[in-house]
Structure 1
Amino acid sequence: MTRQVGGAFASVVEANELPRIVRLEDNLYAAVFTLMKLLPARYIVDRARRSGALAPGATVIETSSGTFGLGLALVCRLRGHPLIVVGDPAIDRNLRTRLEFLGARVELVDAFDAPGGIQGARLARVAELHRAHPGSYVPDQYENPDNPGAYGIVADQLLSTLGPIGRLVGPVGSGGSTGGLAAALRQSGGDTKLTGVDTPGSVIFGHHNGKRLLRGLGSSIHAGNVRHTAYDDVHWVGAAPAFWTTRELYAERAIFAGPTSGASFLAARWHARQEPGSVTVALFPDDGYRYLDTVYNDDWLRAQGVDRIPPPAEPKPVTAPDDLDEHWSHLAWGRRPLTEARRFPS
């Protein structure tokens, strides 16, 4: 798909898929996306159309309760594909409205006790729908290598703007953005360190599965696109510090972002101050409009029992993922496989 026609973008998708690069501190920068998952959604759909895996007018079916679903809805609407999004009851009302306004059909699954938790139940429903719609296409964000493969263009943008990147910090869900960007940056000849930001209650880096108030990162399944041996460090950030830092980003820096951006900023700022001679880049995945009724709403925070206090000045250092603090923990992962998650040296 051509990104520009003359001086204009081919569509609003291409116009919004790349981030703005913003300097936050001396050696700390943010890649600020309006909707980060728009890029892999467009990339996956267009490559499937070119290969014949997605026929003209065929139905697209995917699991998402967040921004990948919205990215797909925008792309499918413009490319002429019906879309079914399988989510769960935690999907926010405003997002569901936007999906349905774009013509997507939204199905909710609430079997939290299913194998693989709620995400396992959602994937099972996607498989059922795929069988019921012959010729349909499943983007499969958790396993499809085109998800991380989409981010090469962002790596080029970062390198041409900032030069060598010492450390990349970003939230981890499907593993596409952090893993794909780090791989592309390292292929340029540097050895960029990679920090993944997760949350307690997520199994990605070896913690137990549990309820998570902080959404948009974390998982109850192990996605194939999360290559654990790519990560140098892992932070687990709880809801309260993520929400506080998200609001701080807007109140003090006028960056109106979602809570995964707050979690990313918290970890990235700490690393940048530990490594003053190196450039650190934080990924900010989406804007704040979805969160006006939640993260930016004091009544909602009180109803959730979220303490509005500043986060700790630094994370709790841990040697295993079963020793997490509810607020903020850090583990020097060391590019190890997940099988070694509970055998780190003390």
Structure 2
Amino acid sequence: MRDHITAPAPPVHEHVTDAIKAPALIRLTPNTVLVRFETLKVYSALGAVRHLLETGVLRRGQTVVDSSSGIYALALAMACHRYGLRCRIVASTTVSDAMRAQLEILGVTVDRMPPTDDLLLDQHRRVRLVQELLARDPDLHWMRQYHDPLHHLGYADLADLLRRALPGEPLTVVGSVGTGASTGGLTRSLRAHDPRVRLVGVQPFGSVSFGSERFTDPDAIIAGIGSAIPFDNVHHELYDRIHWLDFQHAMAATVGLMREHAVFAGLSTGAAHLVAAWEAGREPARTHVVIGADTGHRYTERVFTRHREALDPARLAPAEITSLTDLAPPWATLDWARRPAVPVPGPRKDPVP
């Protein structure tokens, strides 16, 4: 009979944000590790709110406002709940009824955009409404998750966790670009200890962040993965390689992740897993860290109920291109080589100063 080994007692948390911010680390293959979150952006929201309170920019009882397509809204609401702040969210048309109900129960004022399939229009509407609210109430504090670099700060804690969990392993971070805060903040913190850490970003077709705005993907759920307007928190010079995937490839990968590893995760996690599997085959000596931003609940109808339609991920591979002029769906990859941003033609579309 094996000797009984007493496991250490689990910590008793003072607030739910402490319980959910730490991810589960799951080794999917010998050189692929999934960093699975319930909601990734708790790191960003907690780090930003703490910094603003400590520096006196915010005071308890004040109201913060921001625009969100989903998981940042909930993370900010929970951070405000913890630190005694009020919260107002200008919510994307993609925010689900379940998410809106959670926000309202937490006391958040939710301004929801009218339905539209044009996510560029949706983002412009949200920015305009935030600016109108600020003009009416100067005491509101705009969190500016897309533009304020303080949203990178919270990911230093995640970098410390990964360095302890994966000591000595050469790392490649693989994740959706989105606002740029998670992949950028995490990689910058990791590179402070090891400049050889690689960063691979995932984009949908139609996102302006890495020059695919000339394409349209009618099924794409761009929110949280790409952007229809430029984001200042996307620091292009941090990225070693970029992959662009269409919805069908991301869906195949998300369903495949559940089928192969029993992981119920969001669309960006599936897309990052598909990319990481390809990258890991090319560089087997490196550990590929897949950022799993959220669970799959908000993708149930759009992705998981359609699982019989999903392509076989094992049959998918990208076209390797050397220039953005060669970019084309359904899956392409380019060695970005830590270059600065691609120029955006014409005037800046985002009215944020």
TM-score (norm 2): 0.87
Q: Distance in 1 between matches of 2:329 and 2:95?
A: 23
The residue aligned with 1:81 is 85
Give per-residue Cα distances to partners, 1:232-280, cap 9 Å, x unaligned: 1000111111112112212221111111100110101110111011111
Q: Does 1:102 align with 2:106?
A: yes
Q: How many residues align?
A: 331
Report if aligned partners of 2:45, 2:75 keep a CA contact under 8 Å in 1: yes
Deviation of 1:117 after TM superposition, in Å, equals 4.2
C-alpha distance 115-31 of structure 1, shift in aligned 2 (>3 A): closer
Give per-residue Cα distances to partners, 1:46-66, cap 9 Å, x unaligned: 211222211211111000011
Which of 113, 127, 130 is the aligned partner of 1:126? 130
Q: Does 1:93 align with 2:101?
A: no
Give per-residue Cα distances to partners, 1:87-106, cap 9 Å, x unaligned: 23222222222222222122
Deviation of 1:215 after TM superposition, in Å, equals 3.4
The within-5 A match list for 1:198-213 is 198-208=203-213, 210=216, 212-213=220-221
Give per-residue Cα distances to partners, 1:201-260, cap 9 Å, x unaligned: 110001116563343210012111111111110001111111121122122211111111
Over the matched positions of the two proteins, sequence identity in percent amounts to 33
The residue aligned with 1:36 is 40
Q: Does 1:332 align with 2:332?
A: no
Q: Select between 128-137 and 39-48 the one with higher mean Cα deviation.
A: 128-137
The residue aligned with 2:350 is none
Which of 248, 259, 262 is the aligned partner of 1:251? 259
Q: Does 1:50 align with 2:58?
A: no
The residue aligned with 1:260 is 268
Give per-residue Cα distances to partners, 1:69-95, cap 9 Å, x unaligned: 110111222333221111232222222
Deviation of 1:191 after TM superposition, in Å, equals 1.2
C-alpha distance 184-95 of structure 1, shift in aligned 2 (>3 A): same
Which of 315, 318, 321 is the aligned partner of 1:315? 318
Q: Distance in 2 between matches of 1:109 and 1:165?
A: 44
Query: Where does structure 2 lack aligned partners over 5 or more consecutive residues?
Result: 1-9, 346-353
Q: Distance in 1 between matches of 2:322 and 2:130?
A: 37
The residue aligned with 2:162 is 158
Q: Select between 218-227 and 324-333 the one with higher mean Cα deviation.
A: 324-333
Deviation of 1:146 after TM superposition, in Å, equals 1.6
SS of residue matched to 2:38: coil
The residue aligned with 2:299 is 291
The residue aligned with 2:192 is 187
Amino acid across the alignment from 2:109: R
Q: Distance in 1 between matches of 2:22 and 2:208?
A: 29
Q: Distance in 2 between matches of 1:338 and 1:291?
A: 31
Report if aligned partners of 2:201, 2:243 keep a CA contact under 8 Å in 1: yes
Which of 175, 194, 212 is the aligned partner of 1:170? 175
C-alpha distance 152-134 of structure 1, shift in aligned 2 (>3 A): same
C-alpha distance 61-69 of structure 1, shift in aligned 2 (>3 A): same
The residue aligned with 1:237 is 245
Q: Distance in 2 between matches of 1:114 and 1:199?
A: 15
Which of 17, 20, 23 is the aligned partner of 1:16? 20
Q: Distance in 2 between matches of 1:219 and 1:247?
A: 24
Give per-residue Cα distances to partners, 1:141-193, cap 9 Å, x unaligned: 11211211211111111111112333111101110011111111110034111
TM-score (norm 1): 0.88
C-alpha distance 225-21 of structure 1, shift in aligned 2 (>3 A): same
Report if aligned partners of 1:27, 1:279 keep a CA contact under 8 Å in 2: yes
Q: Distance in 2 between matches of 1:113 and 1:214?
A: 11
